[in-house]
Amino acid sequence: MPRYLGTTVMVPSKLDRHTTPATGDQHVLARGLDGEIRAFLNVCPHRNNQLVPVDRAVNGVSRVSRKGKLTPNGSLVCPFHRYTYDAHGDIVFAPAFEERKCTPRLSLEGVSLRACGDLLFERTGEYPLLLADVMEHEEFARLGIRPFDLQGMKLAAVDASIEKFSALTAGEVFGDTDHVDDIHRDSFDQLVDMSQLSIDVKSLDWSMQFVGWREKTTVICDEYFAYRAAVLAKGNIPRYGAVWMLYGPCTTFEWYPTDVPDEHVFVVSVFEPLPDGGCRNLIEWYAPRALKERNPELLPALRDAYAVTAAEDRELCLSSEEGRRTLVQNGLGERTLGPTHPLQEGCVDHYYAMLAQQLSALASGT
Ligand code: FES
Ligand SMILES: [Fe+2]
């Protein structure tokens, strides 16, 4: 299914370029002089170095950042031997060949894009991008939010972590809200009212959870206390504490708080599998441009609160994998799972069905 790469707001103006955090910077987005956004694999075909070596010191001093500029005529220049590529990825200059008055034939590896609102996905075969229903979703219309429309927003921050659990365990746990009142008792459970949960699992490509705002708290950790205070600072009480959407096996889109247009934050979180069985979690934070002046505490408080939930979920994921390892090592790997609650674990059932579909698509090569 189409893989999430990034958003149009990463490259808002002509001549902007940005590597994609969600893929571990394996792609470069570039908006040419014609205003078109194109994507390339972040590999220079000359010696296969990274074309944009993010966070590396390429001249011993300065570090290359994710966000940067093309040359004034819209070219990408590899810093290692200065091979230069135009907006279509075709080579236009190779310094070492200048004297010979010839340029080697090389092109960057282009990646076809498919857009959904401001989100950019890698076009994968003919698999449809089944997100139109989300754009039209009646609950978002009611909240006054146009999902995936990031106009007026900016990429405010990116967080990253390396995790020891599998990306698939993360996706499974994301769909399980049954653990919230136990595992997140002093934290996330103080933000949301789990008795106000509704789910939408109509599409097999995604599932959605709407979780009501909790009116009265009991014992609450400092981070969630601060975040609630920031949300309520302007006198708005959101309908939902969170809306979560799981797209495919390991990409989530999240909205916090949900129906305060000047303040709602859009979050993309991707769990990218790593060869050792662990995963890398990349979190992109999109916030209204005016948020910093309007409510400067909100985004930092949300990031701190989110980190508390993530730490609690980390323990849950590791424990789940430890339990399953115990079963396998004791010859019980085929043991079936317990029942799932139709609402609180409805997205877990959906997750298993979606994985089965993805695996059979992989097996049949579609
Ligand atoms: S590796 Fe890019 S110019 Fe040589
Ligand atoms: Fe959790």
* pLDDT, mean of residues 318-327: 95
**What confidence category does residue 11 fall into, taking pLDDT thresholds of 50, 70 and 90?**
very high
| Whether residue 259 has pLDDT greater than 90 | no
d(CA 238, CA 333): 44
C-alpha gyration radius of the chain: 22
* Residue 94 CA, closest ligand 1 atom number: 3
Task: Tell how far the Cα of 179 is from the centroid of ligand 2, in angstroms.
Answer: 7
For ligand 1, pick from 40, 41, 49, 98 the residue to mutate: most ligand atoms within 8 Å of CB: 49
Q: What is the pLDDT of residues 109-140, one digit of tens each?
A: 999 999 999 999 998 877 777 788 899 999 99
Task: Tell how far the Cα of 75 is from the centroid of ligand 2, in angstroms.
Answer: 44
Q: What is the pLDDT of residues 162-201, one digit of tens each?
A: 999 999 999 999 999 999 999 999 999 999 999 999 999 9
What lines the ligand 1 site, CB under 6 Å?
44, 46-47, 49, 78, 80-81, 83
Among residues 231, 174, 169, the alpha carbon closest in space to that of 199 is found at 174
d(CA 191, CA 237): 12
- Which stretches of the chain are assigned E, i.e. beta strand? 3-7, 16-19, 27-31, 37-41, 67-69, 76-77, 84-85, 91-93, 110-111, 113-116, 119-122, 153-163, 192-200, 206-213, 240-247, 251-256, 265-273, 279-288
Cβ contacts of 247 within 8 Å, gap of 6 or more: 4, 131, 205, 206, 253
Among residues 334, 316, 321, the alpha carbon closest in space to that of 278 is found at 321
Q: What is the pLDDT of residues 61-86, one digit of tens each?
A: 678 899 999 999 999 999 999 999 99
Are residues 25 and 6 in contact, defined by beta-carbon separation less than 8 angstroms?
no
Q: What is the mean pLDDT of the chain?
A: 93
Residue type, 59: N
Tell me 109's DSSP state.
-
Using CA atoms, how far residue 95 sits from 64, 101, 104, 309, in Å, is 21, 10, 10, 51
Q: What is the pLDDT of residues 24-54, one digit of tens each?
A: 999 999 999 999 999 999 999 999 999 999 9
Longest CA span, the chain: 76
d(CA 306, CA 302): 6
Q: What is the pLDDT of residues 158-167, one digit of tens each?
A: 999 999 999 9
Using CA atoms, how far residue 353 sits from 54, 176, 202, 219, 342, in Å, is 37, 14, 12, 37, 14
Q: Percent of the chain scored above 90 by pLDDT?
A: 77
Tokens 């997205």 locate to: 347
Q: Is the dihedral of CA 119, 125, 126, 127 positive or negative?
A: negative
* pLDDT, mean of residues 302-318: 98
* Residue 81 CA, closest ligand 1 atom number: 3
Closest ligand, as measured to the CA of 312: 2
* Residue 47 CA, closest ligand 1 atom number: 1
The Cβ-side half-sphere exposure at 33, using a 13 Å CA radius, reads 8
Cβ contacts of 345 within 8 Å, gap of 6 or more: 175, 176, 177, 178
Q: What is the pLDDT of residues 199-234, one digit of tens each?
A: 999 999 999 999 999 999 999 999 999 999 999 998
Q: Is the dihedral of CA 325, 327, 332, 334 positive or negative?
A: negative
* Residue 44 CA, closest ligand 1 atom number: 2
For ligand 1, pick from 40, 42, 50, 78 the residue to mutate: most ligand atoms within 8 Å of CB: 78
Structure pTM?
0.94
d(CA 187, CA 291): 24
What pLDDT, on the 0 to 100 scale, is given for residue 80? 92
Q: Percent of the chain scored above 70 by pLDDT?
A: 99
d(CA 258, CA 144): 9
**What confidence category does residue 366 fall into, taking pLDDT thresholds of 50, 70 and 90?**
low
